[in-house]
A and B are shown apart, each in its own frame.
Chain A
Amino acid sequence: MASFFARHQDQLIPLLFVLPALVYVGYFAFYPTFETIKYSFQTPILSFTFYNYQANVQSGLYSWIANTLWLTAGALSLQFGLALGVASILNRTFRGKTVFATIAILPIGIATVVAGFTFNQIFPGTGAGYANSILGWFGIAPVYWLTHPWLAILVVIIADSWKNTSLVIIILVAGYATIPRTLYHAAAIDGAGPLRQFVHVTLPGLRGFIVMALLIRGAQEVNIFQLAYIMISSYPQLLTVQIYLLWESSGGYPYLASAVSTVLLAIVTVFIVIVILLGGRKT
Chain B
Amino acid sequence: MSSPPPNPDRSAGSALAEPTAPSLPSEDGATGGPTPVAGDTATPPVYHARRFTLSNVGLYGAIAVISLFFLFPIYLIFLIGFTPEEYTLFSGRPPILPPQLTWSNLQAGLSATNAPFLPSMYLSLEVAFFVGALAIVIGIPTAYGLSRLGSRLAYSLTTVLFVVNMLPSITIAIPISVQFIEVGLYGSPISIGLTQELLALPVTVFLLVGAFQGLPRDLENQARVDGAGRLHAIYGNLVPLIRPALAAAFLLAWMLSWDESTFALILYNPASSATLPVNIFLAFTGRGNPVVGVAFSCIATIPVIILTVFLQKYLKGEDLAAGVRG
Contacts and interface: CB of A to CB of B under 8 A. Distances in A.
B170 A175 contact: no
A132 interface: yes
Contact of A121 (B88, B194, B318, B322): B88
A206 interface: yes
Contacts of A264: 168, 170-171
Contacts of A254: 174-175, 178
Contacts of A207: 326
Nearest to B36: A181
B215 interface: no
A25 B174 contact: no
A181 B201 CA distance: 35
B279 to A, nearest CB: 9
Contact of B277 (A35, A93, A111): A111
Contacts of B95: 133
21 contacts: A15-B149, A17-B142, A28-B172, A28-B198, A36-B172, A89-B63, A93-B45, A93-B46, A111-B280, A111-B301, A117-B284, A167-B320, A178-B326, A208-B325, A209-B326, A219-B166, A225-B169, A254-B175, A275-B166, A276-B163, A283-B152
Interface residues of A, number: 119
Closest 7 CB pairs of A and B: A174-B317, A17-B145, A177-B23, A109-B308, A35-B175, A101-B25, A109-B304
A171 B324 contact: yes
B232 interface: no
A257 interface: yes
B96 A130 contact: yes
A192 B322 CA distance: 34
B201 A21 contact: yes
Contacts of A21: 138-139, 141-142, 161, 201, 205
Contacts of A75: none
A92 B45 CA distance: 8
Given A32-B173, A162-B69, A240-B168, 19 more contacts: A11-B150, A13-B230, A18-B157, A24-B201, A35-B175, A82-B66, A93-B44, A95-B30, A100-B67, A101-B312, A106-B305, A110-B74, A170-B317, A177-B20, A205-B326, A208-B325, A223-B168, A244-B265, A261-B171
A-side binding surface: helix, strand, loop or mixed? helix
A233 interface: yes
Contacts of B22: 177
Contact of A178 (B20, B48, B71, B258): B20
Contacts, number: 352
Interface of A: 10-11, 13-18, 20-22, 24-25, 28-30, 32-33, 35-36, 39, 82, 85-86, 89-90, 92-98, 100-122, 127-130, 132-134, 136, 162, 167, 170-182, 184-185, 205-209, 212-213, 215-216, 219-220, 222-223, 225-226, 229-230, 233, 240, 243-244, 247, 252, 254, 257-258, 261-262, 264-265, 268, 271-272, 275-276, 279, 282-283
Interface in B209-241: 230
Contacts of A177: 20-23
A105 B77 contact: no
Contacts of B170: 223, 225, 240, 243-244, 261, 264
Residue of A176, A258, A283 with highest tally of chain B CB at under 10 A:
A283
Range, interface on chain B? 35 or more
Interface string B137-171: 01101101110111111010101111111111111
A109 B259 contact: yes
B76 A130 contact: yes
Contacts of A215: 166
Interface string B50-88: 100000100110110011011101101100100000001
Contacts of A93: 29-30, 44-46, 48-49
Interface in B177-198: 178-179, 181, 194-195, 197-198
B92 to A, nearest CB: 5
Contact of A85 (B62, B151, B161, B169): B62
A104 B277 CA distance: 23
B273 interface: no
B91 interface: yes
B297 interface: yes
Nearest to B205: A21
A81 to B, nearest CB: 12
A13 B148 CA distance: 9
A158 B194 CA distance: 32
B320 A122 contact: no
Nearest to A90: B25
B255 interface: yes
B73 A122 contact: yes
B307 interface: yes
Contacts of B307: 109
B42 A181 contact: yes
B261 interface: yes
A247 B325 contact: no
A93 to B, nearest CB: 5
A188 B167 CA distance: 44
Contact of A175 (B76, B230, B284, B317): B317
